[in-house]
Amino acid sequence: MHLKMNNRRKFLKDITIGGAAITFMNSPLNSFGSKTAEKIRIGIIGVGSRGRLHMKELLKRTDVLVTAIADTDVNSIEKAKSIAKEMGSPEPAIFSNGNNDYRNLIKSEKVDAVIIATPWEWHMPQTIESMKAGKKVGLEVAGAIRLQDCWDLINTYEQTRTEVMILENVCYRRDVMAILNMVQKDRFGELLHLQGGYQHDLRAQLFNTSATCCDGVGFGPESIGSAKWRTAHYEKRNGEIYPTHQLGPIAMMLDINRGNRLTKLSSISSQARGMNRYVANNSKGGPEHPNAKLKFKLGDIVTTQLQTYKGQTIVLTHDTSSPRPYNLGFRVQGTNGIWQEFHDGEPDKGQIYFEDASPSETWENPKKYMETFDHPLWKKHEQKAVGAGHGGMDYFVINAFVECIKAKQPFPLDVYDLATWYAITPLSEASIQKGGQMVEIPDFTRGKWKTRKSFIHIKDQFV
């Protein structure tokens, strides 16, 4: 058990006063004095497809128990229970009694820490409630609904000191980490300009109404998976609504909140056509289907320009409702070189150039550099990562979360990163509402960015 002492004291106090605590003391999940004493007991709030992927990663480990799950969807709960059974894990406690039963999971003494993988609008309130309950949080990625939520998060952290990690798996993509390694070894020189995008045609998921993904032209409560809730954001919002897959790796490389910070952004958006077109061209829809005519507010391609304190520039792209193969489109450019990638993480699908190493003015295939600068973390954990979700990235992000809790060490991607990255969404919405005007990005660290340690602490141990 690696609860912080103040929480442990609270825990010991709580179990002496309530009936529920007595029941808990008799539960096989009580780890005190048992041979599972060193296991971290995790509750998962949201066991849709993403939450269940995290659950599988957690249950592969010997240092974790998934002791509780919360979801309002019975099918998701049943699927999660099946996973526990198949993986030989005790059945977790279930919290599925409506929208607010997750609060009981958070309060539960069976839970040391939570992972949150719910619809976006629940991320901030659930994170803040967990922090107030002293439960460390691993939060799935999204963007904030309101800028104030980001401040509430920071204020709650500074009151409670309960740590939060944003589970940004792309920060652990093998090529991204090799490039980070090159950045930190000064191969690119001083960084100047970075780009990244969430460029992934999600329309089949956004209109999925069939149990076997993906088929349909509907969305909302009667649909399946993220079509239940994510598509509504496309109807009602216009901005960089999913910024962290692209910004996370960039922020690591630029040491954002660690000697550098994001200062300003401006966003613009294209026409919104892809959602209607998908429905109109689908055999289950057609041009007269209501969703072929519904006004979606989110532009098909949203572009955001950002500036940093140190002078670097960043371009982010959100592009999820147009026909296109997946590609995050990273570009990392410094005074000594440039890398661009065009597919989905394959080390040889891109181009790289270093002034002091490449043939003059000639692109090279990045593969040899990816091998030479393979990140120590990947070298060490490669075998464990094989088979993990999203090309192994999911292993690393869960591993960092669990190992930091065990070692009582700060998370590598913390609450200040979370607030800063999430804030891009409401700020970009504000910029677009103002016709593309530049808006200031708050300093959520309140000046601490000047002295916080670099991301270079992502080393070869576990985080």
Q: Which residues bind a second copy (CB under 8 A)?
A: 189-190, 192-193, 201, 264, 266, 268-271, 273-274, 277, 299-301, 303, 305, 307, 310-313, 315, 319, 322-326, 333-338, 340, 342-343, 351, 353-355, 361-363, 434-438
Closer to a second copy by CB, 95 or 369: give it.
Answer: 369
Spatial separation of the C-alpha atoms in residues 432 and 428, rounded to whole Å: 6
Nearer to a second copy, 72 or 282 (CB): 282
Residue closer to a second copy by CB (options 96, 351) is 351
Q: How far is the CB of 238 from a second copy (least distance, A)?
A: 12
Per-residue b or e along 82-91, where b marks 16 or more CB atoms closer than 10 Å to that residue's CB: ebbeeeebee
Smaller CB separation from a second copy, 18 or 323: 323
Nearer to a second copy, 104 or 358 (CB): 358
Distance CA(192)–CA(331), nearest Å, equals: 11
Q: Rounded to the nearest whole angstrom, what is the least distance from the CB of residue 292 to a second copy in the complex?
A: 13
For the CB of residue 424, give the shortest distance to a second copy in the complex, in Å. 15
- When the beta carbons of 89 and 336 are compared against a second copy, the nearer one is 336
CB of 230 to a second copy, least distance (A): 19
Compute the distance between CA of residue 344 and CA of residue 330 in angstroms, rounded to an integer.
Answer: 10
In whole angstroms, the minimum distance from the beta carbon of 180 to a second copy comes to 19
Quick one: which H or E segment has residue 179? helix 174-184
In this structure, are residues 153 and 125 in contact, taking their beta carbons and an 8 Å threshold? no
CB 333 within 8 A of CB 191: yes
Please name every residue paired with 40 in a beta bridge, in sequence order, or none if there are none: 64
**CB of 232 vs a second copy, minimal distance in Å:** 22
- Identify the CA nearest to 52 among candidates 102, 86, 27, 103: 86
Q: How far is the CB of 455 from a second copy (least distance, A)?
A: 20
Strand order in the sheet with 439-440: 350-354, 337-341, 331-334, 191-199, 313-319, 301-308, 262-269, 439-440
Query: Of 404, 416, 388, 413, which is closest to residue 112 (Cα–Cα)?
Result: 404
Q: Which C-beta is closer to a second copy: that of 209 or that of 312?
A: 312
What is the DSSP code string of 92-115?
PEEE-SSTTTHHHHHH-TT-SEEE
